[in-house]
Structure 1
Amino acid sequence: MTRDMTSGNPVKLILYFMIPVYLGNIFQQFYNLADAVIAGKYLGVDALAAVGSTAPLIFLVIGWLNGITSGFAIMIAQSFGAERYDHMRHYLAMSFYLCIGFVVLMTAGLLVGNEPILILMNTPKELLPDVAGYMKVIYAGLFVTAAYNGLAAVLRALGDSKSPLYFLVISALLNVVLDIVFIVNFHMGVEGCAYATVIAQGISALLCLIYMIKKFKFLKMNRAECRFSLSTAGRLLALGIPMGLQFSITAIGTIIVQGAVNVFGAAYMAGYSAAGKIQSIISTIFVAYGATIATFVGQNMGAGKMDRIHGGVKATQIMILITSFIVMGITYLFGGLFVKGFIDPAEVEATESAIMYFKAVAWCYPFLGSIFLYRNALQGLGYGLVPMLGGVFELAARALVIALIAGSMGYLGVCLADPMAWLAALVPIVPYYIWKMKTVKTA
């Protein structure tokens, strides 16, 4: 069902919308998470290191797709809030055309550059065949990844955050079953994990599509609404590309960090991978707040309710701060226990490296949450350039930490790259949000 976020109690609306998004993000994490856990348990620490080291690349690729589809959905949310349904359907059709073009180009380019990219990341030679095989399957299945991200973004733009959750639960459970079947029964190695992921994502995309066709009759388009328009494509790309680049620039920074970790060998790669998986689960709560505020701001921007936007963002900032301190406490108390779900306690070096990462980053969670809040608020307002600039600041901070600190501090210095990047990202975003809100209100 759709949800109008332009009226009613903002806090209740935001929480009601955010919780399904958060749970959906958790289940979406299960794809790569299940791959890593099952590979580590059944194939050993080298398999965990191989699958885990793909996380930055997967974040780069999926982050780009998620960014552009979320950018396209901003225009859909604004049109929905303004009750201009003919415009909304036209934006939906154009988003579909643009996504097809991006996926074709990305799949071809990434399949060609697969091994050269991994070599640039300092992937150990003994792990290269497994990592390359895993990523080859993921790249070949990008069309289903794009389909799910695009359809889920449209549903969220319409205020429906529950349906994508239900479909993700089904596909995430299917992914776990297929992982075990492909690895244990069919002996497909780490490539079996990748096949399981692509098949499960395809199921979730198909379920989204069937649901939208049956439940949202007002999305049915006529020929005029499906006609290709360069001007509309330009408006969508003006939001989608900066949002996609924002994710990609951040991912490039994580690839630089992964390359620095790879130098320390398979044990540190496995520990950093395990910590990264847990960190991804932790940060999904902030991602959910961000996705929620983007829809909230987008719909209210379309309805012209700027005071309501200001109140919603302020309330969300308070909720993020409370959440951050809770998560910090959980991480410090139970981080070591979480690591044991990925790594055999006998692997002492890998376990210690994972725990060291948590100690280095957990203090900075309030800043990480704030990035998602203000970045997505700006995107909901229709401003994509400065949020992308925040990603540039993140990239620069990570690169500087690796170049200037990691050499003297070793692995701990590498771990500090993330909190320094989060602090740097806020430098352009927060002042710009404050200035834009004053400008729009007084315009």
Structure 2
Amino acid sequence: METKMDFVNESTGRCFWMMFLPVMAAMFLNMAYNVVDSLWIGNLLGERAYAALTSSTPVILILNSIAMGATNGVAILVSQAIGAKDRKKADGIIATSLIVAVAFALLVTILLELSLPMVLHVLNTPKETWQLAKEYLSIYLLGYIAVYLYCYLTAVLRSFGNAVFQMAAMLVCTMLNAILDPLFIRRMGFRGAAIATLLSQTICLAFMVIYMYRKKVIRLHIQEFRKGLIGEIIAKAVPSVIQQSIPAISTAFLTSLVSSMGLCAIAAYGITGKLEIILFYPAMAINMVLTNIIGQCAGAKRSDREKEYLIYALKMGGILLLLLSVGVVGFARPLSGLFLRSEDVAGIVAGYFLIVGAGYVLNTVTNCFLGALNGLGRPFKSMMLMVFYYILVRMPLAWILNHAGWGLDGIWTAVLISHIVASIAAFYAGYTEIRKEAEASAIID
């Protein structure tokens, strides 16, 4: 496949928006995909079923984060190879990583199917929702390989400057889920939602594979498999996996804290997670786009272009998230009513966004610098930053404030403080690396 865009030489604004808009559209379609499940389950099956879905969500988030992180690690290597105009290495990375991806996804599926009861116990899943959550996840896991390969194929395509196909594939998946969900839920109840998800994900992957095979979108030559590249792929993938998984682990920890406060609290926390997607996905899209764009610039040894893209992303991302934050915080209560008609739940949701709302612009700043670090080939540094402000700041602080008598407000305050700390730490680390690249380029010149 030929590179769709030349990030090194073409217009900064054009390249950024041509990548960002399709990726963000795909992520919002993914949001719609998840919201469809939530809306049907909440309105047709009630609070208990919705709480069970919330109890299942941390596991799903972690699994999706593993897929996104591992494939993002592959994207770093492919982007840098393309920027260096080393097509042979790019083909070798693609072939090798594909085989590794299939084997890894199958292994994760088998291990989790066998250990589901233990996982739900660790997450402090309430007795009222335990069986429902177990049934849902046991079915969802059967489609994990489809989720993983979707993330893999779209990550490789982004490395070549093709982000539109990711949007098209997600559109197909979302439409299928919207059609299948009510049919299966009415016939089979809560299990039907999981079966509809499984079918839509599998059909979406089949659509992608058929399209890419017929159009010869990328060259997948198994004979290009290089055993020596496995170590290099793992070295980039593991930090990226941990980096992507840490927020999900944090969510699982906070879910366990909230679970001790009753079904109303956990249902409300589930709704905040759905609404937060509106505010998190644009920042995540910028992170993913900068990984690919700055990866190509780094491969071409163009530190000047790396800085241009980073500054542009900070400006545009900050403006966008400011507007979105105002909308969600201002309309949190009526938005909550779309999922569950409960004044108590709506009050908790509104309180959450009133406290945390100021942190979403800062989260965008954090993701801009994390994307830059990833593109520069420093996923380990990004990972350590995530460990610092999620594991060492957010989780302990949430536990302390909750047990100090602050209750839910204490947990929400810990989330806000972690956003503040994260933006400061990411700015310092990212700025330092960009400056080092610029100094190295000056010495070479």
TM-score bucket of the superposed structures, by smaller chain = over 0.9
Offset, 1:441: 2.0
**Aligned with 2:399 (options 391, 403, 412):** 403
Deviates most, 199-208 or 238-247: 199-208
State the partner residue of 2:197: 197
- CA RMSD, 1 decimal: 1.6
Which of 330, 352, 359 lines up with 1:357 in the alignment?
A: 352
Give 1:332's aligned residue. Answer: 329
| TM-score after normalising by structure 1 | 0.95
Q: How much has 1:240 moved relative to structure 2? A: 0.6
- The corresponding residue for 1:139 is 141
Q: Distance in 1 between matches of 2:354 and 2:316?
A: 23
Answer yes or no: is the 8 Å Cα contact 1:37–1:48 preserved in 2: no
Residue 66 and residue 340 in structure 1: after superposition, are their counterparts in 2 closer, same or farther (change >3 A)? Answer: same
Unaligned stretches of 5+ residues in structure 2: 441-445
**18-27 or 120-129, which deviates more:** 120-129
Counterpart position of 1:251: 248
1:20-39 aligned at under 5 Å gives the runs 20-39=22-41
Report if the CA contact (8 A) 2:55-2:129 is conserved. Answer: no
Q: TM-score, normalised by structure 2?
A: 0.94
Contact 2:272 2:349 in 1 (8 A): yes
The CA deviation at 1:54 is 2.0
The counterpart of 1:418, out of the listed 409, 415, 419, is 415
Q: What's the CA shift string for 1:367-389, capped at 9, x where partnerless? A: 11112111111111111111101
* 3-state SS in 1 of match to 2:9: coil
Please give the residue correspondences for 1:284-433 in structure 2 after superposition, counting only pairs within 5 Å: 284-344=281-341, 347-393=342-388, 394-407=390-403, 408-433=405-430
Q: CA deviation at 1:220?
A: 4.5
Contact 2:95 2:222 (8 Å CA) reproduced: no
The residue type equivalent to 1:369 in the other structure is: T
Number of residue pairs aligned between Structure 1 and Structure 2: 436
Deviations 1:312-348 (A, max 9, x none): 101111112211221221122222221111111xx22
Q: Deviations over 1:116-147 (max 9, x none)?
A: 22122221101101111111112222111111
> Is contact 2:321–2:364 with CA below 8 Å preserved after alignment?
yes
Report deviation, 1:365. 1.0
Tell me the CA shift for residue 216 of structure 1: 3.7
Any residues of structure 2 matched to 1:170-185 within 5 Å, and which?
170-184=172-186
What is the percentage of aligned positions where both structures have the same residue? Answer: 25
Equivalents in 1 of 2:417, 2:242: separation in Å? 20
* Paired residues of 2:43 and 2:339 also in contact (CA < 8 A): yes
The aligned counterpart of 1:283 is 280
Relative to 1, partners in 2 of residues 1:300 and 1:352: Cα closer, same or farther, differing over 3 Å?
same
What is the CA–CA distance in structure 1 between the aligned matches of 2:84 and 2:150, rounded to whole Å?
A: 26
1:128 to 127, 130, 144: 130
Q: Output one character per residue of 1:21-58: Cα deviation in whole Å (capped at 9) or x when no partner.
A: 11100111233322111100100111111112322221
Any conservation in 1 of the 2:84–2:300 contact (CA below 8 Å)?
Answer: yes
2:74–2:97 CA contact under 8 A, matched in 1 = yes
| SS, match of residue 123 in structure 1 | coil
1:405 partner SS:
helix
Pair 1:262-2:264 in alignment: no
Aligned to 1:105: 107
Q: What are the residue-to-residue correspondences of 1:17-96 with 2, within 5 Å?
A: 17-96=19-98
Structure 2: distance between partners of 1:222 and 1:357:
50
List gaps (5 residues or longer) in structure 1.
none
Residues 306 and 178 from structure 1, CA distance in 2 versus in 1: closer, same or farther, beyond 3 angstroms? same
Separation (CA, whole Å) in 2 of partners of 1:168 and 1:94: 25
Indicate the residue corresponding to 1:214 in structure 2: 214
SS in 2 for 1:416: helix
Deviation at residue 282 of structure 1 after TM alignment? 2.3
- 1:242 paired to 2:243: no
- The one-letter code of the counterpart of 2:412 is C
Deviates more, 1:428-437 or 1:160-169: 428-437
Amino acid at match of 1:434: Y
Provide the C-alpha distance between the structure 2 equivalents of 1:22 and 1:57, rounded to a whole number of angstroms.
Answer: 23
Q: Please tell me whether the aligned partners of residues 81 and 90 of structure 2 are also in contact (alpha carbons under 8 angstroms).
A: yes
Measured against aligned partners, the alpha-carbon deviations of 1:352-374 in whole angstroms (never above 9, x if no partner) come to: 11111111211111111112111
| Contact 1:64 1:244 survives alignment (8 Å) | yes
Cα distance change on mapping 1:206 and 1:39 into 2, 3 Å? same
Deviates more, 1:327-336 or 1:354-363: 327-336
Aligned residue for 1:12, secondary structure, equals: helix
